[in-house]
Amino acid sequence: MTVAMPLADVAETWVRDFEHLTGQRLAAVDGATLLGERGMLGGFRIPSRGSAGGGCRIFDTRTGGVALNLARPDDWTLLPALFETDADYRDVAAVAAGMVRQDGDDLVARGRVLGLAIAAANGTPDIVRACTVMMRAAASSPPGRRAPRVLDLSALWAGPLAAHLLWLAGADVTKIESRTRPDAMRRGDAAFFALLNQGKASVALDLTVAAEREALLALIARSDIVIEAARPRALEHLGIRANELVRGQPGLTWITITGHGAQGDAANWVGFGDDCAMSAGLGAALHDVAGRAGFVGDAVADPLTGIRAAGFAWQAWESGQGGRYGLAMSGVVAEAMAIARRSGDFDASLIAWAAAEGMPFPTVQSRTTGPVAALGADTRTALAELLLC
């Protein structure tokens, strides 16, 4: 039995739109590949109440299901505060026992304040816009035939994928990582990291050091597109004020990727691919048509957002308008679901996905990996070039 990935058709449309926008054919890249290649590489199986990658799980509460992502070790230390108890939570069974006595909406609200990635699994979806124009930049002359210079400040999946697609379209991409806390996927999933970060120059900085923050600001000043996925207060703590930088650099395009939006309280909610898809209502849609709660795809909000962000970035850069654009992962999934529903086969794809529970992830195209720079391999060269300017 072969099962198609739900929302792959929408992703395919967005990939082809990106190709049309850039005038570049992306070899061996299609919607199904971008949504499913991590699952295929990792030998994942079609999930039910535990996500394909294993970090997120649906738990029962008194008032419905809640998806809680415990992918980071520090997340477990927040569980006593989530449950308002002094008890120690060391395993999934203990978390499930704590959940079942609680109100789901209260848990979601409290968990988001604490910094947990949490969402209702089958309740009313959060309503979030997929893309928000956070501010307009002063326009510059359209760049003509020159390829964009991209600075990738993001980590994990959505942001690096956006920068990767821009690289495939001809952009010159530099990946910035912390020397002390590099992209966790570099070691955690080396094969997938290589797919998303091949061909990028690697610069490693310690942004707690004033001179290295100044170096980052100088690199931004030489860039056309910046991609980041930090919460606003994290950037401001480092002295990186995105709006001021965009305002002072005509034509600069700044892409901010968040879980649930870049404004208001939601800007500080933590979100990863699986829980953001739940927040958008994807789990509820599966429950409605298949009669069971479960995860659809593999952290599907990440690849969908990466594709969408690449398109917005290229279009804003090429127009010369620039500006700062907020891409909300939960909003992107909601947008993709609305498009899929209009096509008429979305429910059927969810039913087929549920019926294939436990089977291997769909087979997709295998892609070639080019050179992947070691952490900081290009730092000296990049900083030397700044001194010459």
Q: Bridge partners of 202?
A: 175
State the chain's mean pLDDT as an integer: 93
Phi-psi region of 141 (alpha: psi -120 to 50; beta: other; left: phi over 0): beta
Structural domains in the chain plus CATH codes: 8-44+128-265+297-388 (3.40.50.10540)
Report pLDDT for 124: 75
In the chain, what percentage of residues exceed pLDDT 90?
A: 81
Report pLDDT for 139: 82
Residue 389 has pLDDT above 70, yes or no: no
Contacts of 16 (CB under 8 A, 6+ apart): none
**Alpha helices for the chain (secondary structure H):** 8-22, 31-41, 73-77, 79-83, 92-99, 104-114, 158-168, 185-188, 190-197, 210-221, 232-237, 242-248, 273-279, 282-290, 301-319, 329-343, 346-355, 379-388
Residue 74 has pLDDT above 90, yes or no: yes
Read off the pLDDT band of 278 (50, 70, 90): very high
Specify the higher pLDDT residue, 138 or 70.
Answer: 70
Report pLDDT for 21: 96
Report pLDDT for 1: 58
Report pLDDT for 344: 82
User: How far apart (Å, rounded) are the C-alpha atoms in residues 38 and 41?
Assistant: 5
With tokens 């739940």, the residue in question is 278
Report pLDDT for 87: 87
Contacts of 9 (CB under 8 A, 6+ apart): 31, 340, 343, 345
Report pLDDT for 141: 80
Q: CB under 8 Å, gap of 24 or more: what pairs does 348-351 form?
A: 349/4, 349/6, 349/7, 350/6, 350/285, 350/286, 350/289, 350/290, 350/296, 351/289, 351/290
Q: Using one digit for the tens of pLDDT, what is the confidence trace for 53-68? A: 999 999 999 999 999 9
Residue 2 has pLDDT above 80, yes or no: no
Token pair of 92 as six digits: 């999934």
Report pLDDT for 313: 96
Look at strands 131-135 and 323-328 and give their pairing: antiparallel
CA angle 216, 186, 364 (to 5 degrees): 120
Report pLDDT for 140: 83
- The predicted model gives 10-29 an average pLDDT of 95
Residue 90 has pLDDT above 90, yes or no: no
- The predicted model gives 310-339 an average pLDDT of 95
Residue 325 has pLDDT above 90, yes or no: yes
Lowest mean pLDDT among 115-119, 318-322, 345-349: 318-322
Lowest mean pLDDT among 71-75, 136-140, 284-288, 374-378: 136-140
Q: Using one digit for the tens of pLDDT, what is the confidence trace for 177-230? A: 999 999 999 999 999 999 999 999 999 999 889 999 999 999 999 999 999 998
Q: pTM for this one?
A: 0.96
Residue 387 has pLDDT above 80, yes or no: no
User: How far apart (Å, rounded) are the C-alpha atoms in residues 99 and 61?
Assistant: 5
In the chain, what percentage of residues exceed pLDDT 70?
A: 99
- The predicted model gives 321-327 an average pLDDT of 93
